[in-house]
Chain A
Amino acid sequence: MTEGRVGPVRWFLNNAKWHGAEWWITVLGGVLLVAIILMTVSADRLAPYDPVKFVGAPFTRPRAQQSVVVLESDATIGGLGDAAEAAVGVVTNSQAARELDERGLAYETFSSIRLAVGALQQGEIGALVTDAQDPKFRKQLQAQEVATKIVGDPFGTVFVLGTDNYGRDVLSRIIHGSRTVLGIAILAAVMSASAGIPMGLLSGFLGGSLDKALSLVMDSLYSFPGLILAIAMAALLGPGMLNVAVAIAVIYIPVYFRLVRGKVLSVKESLYVEAARSLGAKPFTTLWLYVFPNVIPSIVVIFSVNVADSILTEAGLSFLGLGLPPPAPDWGFDLSAGKRFVPSGYWWIITYPGLMVALLTLGFSMLGEGLSEILNPRLTEN
């Protein structure tokens, strides 16, 4: 054997079958994950808007041209330039306000469209600039017999994925929501791994009545339908990131426990463990240096599959309203909040968060499955 020592990367490249499906699956999954994790890490820089603020008109279509509706009363306004001449009213925190700031234009702010329209009608302001292109809003204005005129699109394309029913930017919510989802899912997976792995190690290694008792508890926990148990736990613990993570973690402890225990039982019988014992290795040494390292590869695989599972469960919980409290960006919650607007044709509110849940889950699953194929010694033998 002349091969030298190789690093993990070279090892991976050597062992991966370049044309095999598992290689592509792993890489694709990895790329997806890296992209999503990068997005999560730099959410503050990437997200164009604040995810919890009403930054635009409700139900703005994806990539729709941001229109400024200038409502004329007495003043004759030809464009935004002219609007500056008149007293301009702006709805608080709207994109329009930000743009006017940038142009150094003075304006008055109103906390709602209704108040602004009232001010317009009473002649307090000469024009109202808003992001609205909302048919409902326009209908409301028509009902109040206010003439509307659309003046250009000074702000260009703004909401790449549209806005939701409150006028929050869907893209920003997705980007920030990835933090919530990934955070909870990984936290949950780490928690259940750090509870399940030591228990599995001890149970398999020590055997006896401890093993019987733990196995019984874990098997009964395992026999529960996961989501139902998570719902019960989440309802019991109340909202909050940590609580949701705990609720999810509990249902996945048996996954690690059973895997690790089974693996320990087989590794424990292997000759090198027996050899170590015949050389006087203490039980703890045997467990820590001989058994545990040989269990790790299967944990790695199950971990990434488990994160994928946790993501779905987290989405399920927040879909049911058991996730973080509402203003927090959360894909599952956005799905459930947006679903009632789908019949009205506002498909983008739920499509994009749903797509993200699918992509993230797919990423972890593909990475996990691919790794398990590659790490499987039976397949790498030849």
Chain B
Amino acid sequence: MSEARKLLEIADLQVQYPVRTGTIRGVDHVDLTVCRGETLGLVGESACGKSTMGRAIMRLVSEPGKIVGGEIRFNSQDLMQKSEREMTQIRGRDISMIFQDPMTSLNPLQRVDEHLIETIRTHERDTNKRTARERAGEMFDRLGIQRERLMDYPHQLSGGMRQRVMIGLALILNSQLVIADEPTTSLDVIVEAQILDLIKELKDAYHMTLILISHNLGIVAELADRLAVMYAGKLVEVAPALALFDTPLHPYTQGLLSSVPNIRLDDQALHTMDGAPPDLIHPPPGCRFHPRCPEAMERCRREDPPYRQVADGRWVACWLHEGVQEQMVRGRGDAL
């Protein structure tokens, strides 16, 4: 992948939460690259660190969490070196975020238009109120909300409308990168479909790059070009979406995919993964997934598998695929 296409590069990112009983490694040595214009789906079960990742990119990890190491390069600039003031300018203008719960992510005491106008005027000081209001109106047209709802308070809007407003807030300044943290989790399925359609439509219209954080594989399948699977603070597999759904390499990804109920299959039983997510203060030695892994080997208990590229665009951290790289490369070499 050429340098120019890389919008965001995360290298060796570590986020830790000091708590009374120890240190939670929310994000542990993660490397990830996001290309311009793509949609990256970040999936994993609850508390695996995917939201923390999203927040870390904006340097908004909530207290007492802290980014303790690593690089976040956005447009070839290291965000970790930026001052808080510079970050404030980047947030909302270059990178913005859509949150999980639209019911509580708008200030209950501010009218909807004020949210939009304030966001515009925070970053573009010379924009006057009237122009900002006009732009808010245009955004509402795009979002499919009547303009007169601009004067409403958040509580007068439905959940779907509020999420639309949140999307509008994230897009009003043409942010290059939008991080959507479970944008449809608290919405019902019909509204969810509408919101997903809207995101898809706006993504094309605004040429934005999207990081879609979700535990719902269905949503991710619908939107994402590439998928990154997280487990216990680490990336276990990154692959193009289709390839990942076709041939999941990591046993965790396989488990994740097989636990999605499928109405077409005759098999009525719901597959589940045994065990529970590991304690992130005292993670298991070796591969963090080994206590739950059906294919765990002796080596998995001792050594942490490295995160490696095993094929073009396919990265995995698993001992099962050690040496796969050479085979695949050799295989391809033969074909050529």
- What is A's interface to B at a CB cutoff of 8 Å? 1, 3, 5, 207, 269-272, 274-282, 285, 289-290, 293-294
Contacts and interface: CB of A to CB of B under 8 A. Distances in A.
Contacts of B96: 278-279
A277 B119 CA distance: 10
Contacts of B108: 272, 294
A239 to B, nearest CB: 43
A5 B148 CA distance: 12
A285 B58 contact: no
Contacts of A271: 99-101, 104-105
Interface string B150-174: 0100001110000000100110000
Interface string B83-121: 000001111110011011100111111100000001100
Nearest to A277: B60
Contact of A275 (B90, B99, B151): B99
Contacts of A276: 107
Given A272-B108, A274-B60, A294-B108, A279 B156 contact: no
A276 B99 CA distance: 11
Nearest to B104: A271
B131 interface: no
A1 B109 contact: no
A278 B91 contact: yes
A272 B58 contact: no
A1 B156 contact: yes
B105 A275 contact: yes
Contacts of B104: 270-272
B92 A280 contact: yes
Contacts of A285: 118, 122
A282 B88 contact: yes
A238 B115 CA distance: 51
B62 interface: yes
Contacts of A275: 97, 99, 105-106, 166, 169
Contact of B107 (A1, A207, A269, A293): A293
Contact of B122 (A5, A272, A280): A280
A99 to B, nearest CB: 61
A293 B106 CA distance: 13
Given A3-B156, A274-B60, A285-B118, 19 more contacts: A1-B157, A271-B104, A271-B105, A272-B108, A274-B99, A274-B105, A275-B106, A277-B91, A278-B60, A278-B97, A279-B119, A279-B122, A280-B90, A280-B93, A280-B119, A280-B122, A289-B118, A293-B110, A294-B107
Nearest to B58: A278
6 contacts: A275-B97, A277-B60, A279-B169, A280-B119, A281-B92, A289-B107
B123 interface: yes
A247 B62 CA distance: 40
Contacts of B169: 275, 279
Nearest to B84: A283
Q: Which 5 interchain pairs have the tightest Cβ spacing? A: A280-B92, A279-B92, A278-B97, A280-B91, A275-B105
A3 B101 CA distance: 23
Given A1-B157, A1-B158, A289 B60 contact: no
A5 B152 CA distance: 8
B33 to A, nearest CB: 22
A207 B91 CA distance: 22
Contacts of B92: 278-281
Contacts of B119: 279-281
Contact of B109 (A278, A280, A294): A294
Contacts of B166: 275
A274 B151 CA distance: 23
A76 to B, nearest CB: 82
Contacts of A279: 91-92, 96-97, 119, 122, 169-170
